[in-house]
Amino acid sequence: MRHLPKPFRLIAAIAFSICLFTAAAQPKKHVVIGYVGGYRGLIDTSMVNAKKLTHINYAFVNVKNNRAWLTNIKTDTFNFKSLLKLKKVNPDLKILISIGGWAWSKNFSDAVLTDTARNAFAASAVEIIRQYKLDGVDIDWEYPNDIGDGNVFRPVDKQNFTLMFKALRKELDKLEKETGKKLFLTAAIGGFKRFTLNSEMDKVAKYLNYVNLMTYDYFQDSLGVAVHHANLYASKKYNPAYDSADKAMKDFMAAGVPANKLVMGLAFYGHSSRVVDTLSNGLGTKTDGKMRAGGFTFLKDSLVTNTTKGFKYYRDNDAAAPYLFNSATRQFITYEDEWSVKNKCDFVNKNGLAGVMFWEYSEDKKEYLLNEINEDLK
């Protein structure tokens, strides 16, 4: 290559420096990953605001006969086409399939038990991506080497969990070379330390673009106590050893997951129980039965702003978590609102995390929480 004259070299150097400065000055864009429930049937994509999302994870694809399996192929096919049309609104939007979930994780252990099975499973998952021109695979195995909803589990799941992602990444890389399009591999991961003990998260993270921590559903019937289900920090109202999002993030970073791959999970729905008495406004009180909660739009419009229903709003400032309590019916509801979401988004910003994800879009059709996310992570 011939050398440029000196004046042109100077101009080129200045231009290059400006480009570097501009790139450095641009803040890293956080991901906003929304799970959309296709397992219920046809999705009304008119409710989905594509401009406020970076990724949509389509839930769920089943695991059957050691393969990724579209259980409702006509519905799934229609939903894929509808979701892809959202790219006209946001060309940068990525559409992934999420395989598994609470009810469809029963067969993961068998599907990845051997090299042959793992490779066939990975190929079947990526074939769905190829056929429907999607952008990647999300794995929601609940849980490797641990009890879930009647799932098969084995000690060897710990190693096979890693090898499954290795096989998936290999198949995605092949398709990337064919299409020239970047393809994503992510995972929805239980937001508690036990998951790190039953997996090799330092090795797993090397294959993943994002680790979506399910920092919610901490409300457990087995505790017999009314606790928060999506608290950012430990509460002083009950045993501080119980789970929290802050604790989960620290545990997974200690297990070798880089902060810039960790995604904070948000719950767009609540959990509820009846408590035995009205002490402490329900929080930390013994429970004696489950009750209905609902999605955030319902909770906000019907219970928070409508005072005739008898619910009073409370904040646990230590935990950065809100809750509702009805002293007449002894109903306790734990959920997330704009305030708790802001706290979690602030945590994402301060700790250099990749962004947030949430379950599930239709639980907040008025987008109260999605609007808060976009305001906080802009």
Higher pLDDT, 241 or 327: 327
pLDDT value of position 36: 98
pLDDT tens digits for 91-113? 999 999 999 999 999 999 999 99
pLDDT value of position 27: 56
What angle, 0 to 180 degrees and rounded to 10, lies between the N-to-C axes of helices 245-254 and 338-351? 20
pLDDT tens digits for 314-334? 999 999 999 999 999 999 999
pTM of the model: 0.92
pLDDT value of position 279: 84
Pick the CATH number of 27-268+336-376 from 3.40.710.10, 3.90.245.10, 3.20.20.80, 3.40.50.720: 3.20.20.80
Q: What is the mean pLDDT of residues 358-371?
A: 97
Strands (E), the chain: 31-37, 55-64, 67-69, 94-100, 136-140, 184-190, 210-214, 262-267, 269-275, 287-295, 312-316, 321-326, 331-334, 355-359
Phi, psi of 138, rounded to the nearest 5 degrees: -115, 130
% the chain with pLDDT above 90: 89
CA distance 103 to 150: 8
DSSP structural state of residue 24: H
Q: What is the mean pLDDT of residues 159-174?
A: 98
Q: How confident is the model at residue 143 (pLDDT cuts 50, 70, 90)?
A: very high
Q: For the chain, how many residues are written?
A: 378
CA distance 75 to 60: 12
Distances (CA, A) of 156 to 153, 207, 268: 8, 19, 34
pLDDT tens digits for 269-294? 999 999 999 988 999 999 999 999 99
